[in-house]
Amino acid sequence: MTRIIPVVLVCALAVVLAGCSTLTVKNDWDEQADFTTFHKYRILDNQPAADQLVARRITDAVRIHLGERGFEEDADSPDFLIAIHGDVEDRVDVQTYNYGYPYAGYPYWHGGRDVSVTQYQEGTLIIDFVDAGNNQLAWRGWGTKILDDSTREASVLQGIVDKILAQFPPK
C-alpha cells in the first residue's frame, strides 16, 4: 500500500505537467475596426531577437498562415501592419503532497510529506494587427506555452501561430 501512494503521486504530477504544457490562446480586438478592408499587410521589423532563427520561423509561419487565408504581403501599400513580439520567463512550480492517515479524534493527517519543485520556462507570443490607415491597434492575439526543445521546430511554431491566428478576423 505504501508503495502505491508514491506511484500515484508521480502519475498525478505527470498528468498535471502534461496539462500545463498545452498552449493557451486568447485574443482581443477593437469592435469599431473594419476588418473587411484588411487584404494586404506588412510585417514590421522587430527588435533584434535573442534567437534569430526562432524569430524568423515565427515570421515565416505568420506569412504562411495569412497566405493560405488569402491575405497578400505588400510593403508599399498595406491595409494593416503586423508586429510580432514575445517574452520568455523563468518559472518555478512547487507542489506539496501529504500522505498518511488521521488519528482518531484528530482531523490532521499524520505521515509523510513530499515536495516537488519544477523549474521551467514559459513563453508568450503576441501578434498585433495595426490598422495602417489610422495607426491604431485593431486586433491582438497571444499564446502562452511551457517551452521545451521541440518548441523551436518550424512545424511546432507553425501550429502555435495557426492557433493564435485562428480567430482572425473576428466574426
**Structural domain count, the chain:** 1
Between the alpha carbon of residue 165 and those of residues 114, 129, 137, 142, the distances in Å are 41, 10, 15, 9
Contact 9, 114 (CB under 8 A): yes
Q: Average pLDDT by consecutive 10-residue portion of the chain (171 residues)?
A: 38 38 91 96 83 93 98 97 94 79 59 80 96 97 94 95 96 79
Closest CA to 160 of 73, 14, 57: 57
CB atoms within 10 A of CB 101: 7
Query: Is residue 34 domain-resident?
Result: yes
For residue 48, the domain's CATH number is 3.30.160.670
DSSP code for 2: T
What is the predicted pLDDT for the residue at 7?
35
Domain membership of residue 135 as a residue range: 23-92+118-165
Residue type at 132 in one-letter notation? A
Whether 97 is in a domain gets the answer: no
